[in-house]
Structure formats: C-alpha cells, structure tokens
Amino acid sequence: MTKFEINIVSDTVCPWCYVGKKRLERAIAQRQSTHPEDTFSTTWAPFYLNPDAPTTAVDKRAYYASRYGAARAKMMHAHMAALGKKEGIEFSFGGRIGNTRASH
C-alpha cells in the first residue's frame, strides 16, 4: 500500500489549473483501479495568478485582448478549448473577470 500526499497550488479561476485537476482525478482513478489499496490525500494552497487584475470585474474577452493582443488571445482560447474538450470541459470565454484575491 502506498499513501500519496499531493500538494496543489492553484488559482481559483485558472483554466490550466482546472485541466490539471481533471487530469489528476483521472490519474488517481487509473492508479486505484490497479492498486485499490493505495490512498491519496490532496492539500490545496492558493496561487495569486494575477495580482494586477482589476478589482472591479471587466469583460473577459476585452481584458485578454488588451493584455495579450487580440490574435494571441484568440489563439489561447482555441488551444484551451481543445484541451478542455479532451478532459470533458466546455470552457466559456465570455463573461467578466476580475481580481481573485478575495476568493483565496
């Protein structure tokens, strides 16, 4: 029997972190299917992805375009959507975004 202790550092709105969470869940399930005696514990810690994000929520698409440029933001969204789909996630890139300090 192996006891796995996993420490995770994540921002509450980071899509990459969510993809990683889904992949970790799948890996744990795969391991437990062949080693049911193994145990897993996870500890979550906050990561402040963008301390400079506006404290008042703004349009997410406009914010990414201003931060990365319109073409790069579009490319990033397409790439994230494709990765998400592989993990059963349907990302929505509309809506509003702001500072995540309070969520930590």
pLDDT value at residue 85? 96
Helix ranges (H only) for the chain are 15-34, 60-68, 70-86
Task: For 1-59, write each residue's pLDDT tens digit.
Answer: 999 999 999 998 889 999 999 999 999 999 999 999 999 999 999 998 888 888 899 99
41 and 5 Cβ atoms separated by less than 8 Å:
yes
pLDDT confidence tier of residue 99, bands split at 50, 70 and 90:
confident
**Model pTM score:** 0.83
- 56: DSSP letter: S
